[in-house]
Amino acid sequence: MLLLLPALALLGEPTGSYGSCEKITPEATHIQIIETEIVVEGKSSKVFEIIQPDGSPVFYKTEGMCFNVTLENATSVPSSLHWHGLLLPNPEDGVAYVTQPPILPGETYTYNFEVVQNGTFWMHSHFGLQEQKLMAAPLILLPAKKNLTGMSLPSLNPLLFNRSKKSG
Ligand SMILES: [Cu+2]
């Protein structure tokens, strides 16, 4: 029992070693989670989707900047998004019932912390089987202070991301 105490003490630890990013900022990237429908081999299935205002399923951020995301739960069920593999203050980790209460339908939650790494990651729900129902998307952290001229971003695997929607 005593061995568990140091681990429990880490929950809710304040930011600190990751630099300062204001919790509420007006220029936050608005990410929405929605319910949608896909058709696979002629059969329709209800799934989730993570979308940005421009319709892109891929979220890009640059190392050294603030993450600064407002997540809107536009589904009919509680949820949250986990930023897989990111080094961040524990309260920003996005795991419902572990580091935060779930975001209820129609509500928003703002995540903000300094991006301290680069590479290819992903974001996904840790709530129930939402991840298995496609509440997941690429999350790419571009390197800071590097000349990216002439560099092309990787194209997405069409098998994963060309969804054929039944409607809308
Ligand atoms: Cu994960």
Rounded to the nearest whole angstrom, what is the distance from the C-alpha of residue 42 to the centroid of ligand 1?
Answer: 30
For each of the domains in the chain, give its residue range(s) and CATH number, in order of start.
31-144 (2.60.40.420)
pLDDT in tens, 91-138: 999 999 999 999 999 999 999 999 999 999 999 999 999 999 999 999
Distance 94 CA to ligand 1 centre (A): 10
Q: Which of 53, 161, 34, 25 is nearest to 106 (CA)?
A: 34
Between the CA of 85 and the centroid of ligand 1 the distance, in Å, is 7
Looking at residue 6, what is its pLDDT?
41
In three-state form (DSSP H/G/I as H, E/B as E, the rest C), the secondary structure along 25-82 is CCCCEEEEEEEEEEEECCEEEEEEEEECCCCCCCEEEECCCECCEEEEECCCCCECCE
H or E stretch covering 93: none
In the reported structure, the alpha carbon of residue 150 is separated from the centroid of ligand 1 by a whole-number distance in angstroms of 31
Query: In angstroms, what is the span from residue 149 Cα to ligand 1's centroid?
Result: 31
Low-confidence ranges of the chain (pLDDT < 70): 1-19, 24-25, 146-168
Q: Give residues whose Cβ lies within 5 Å of ion ligand 1.
A: 84
Q: % helix / strand / coil in the chain, to the nearest 5?
A: 10, 35, 60
Residue for token pair 């929605």: 34
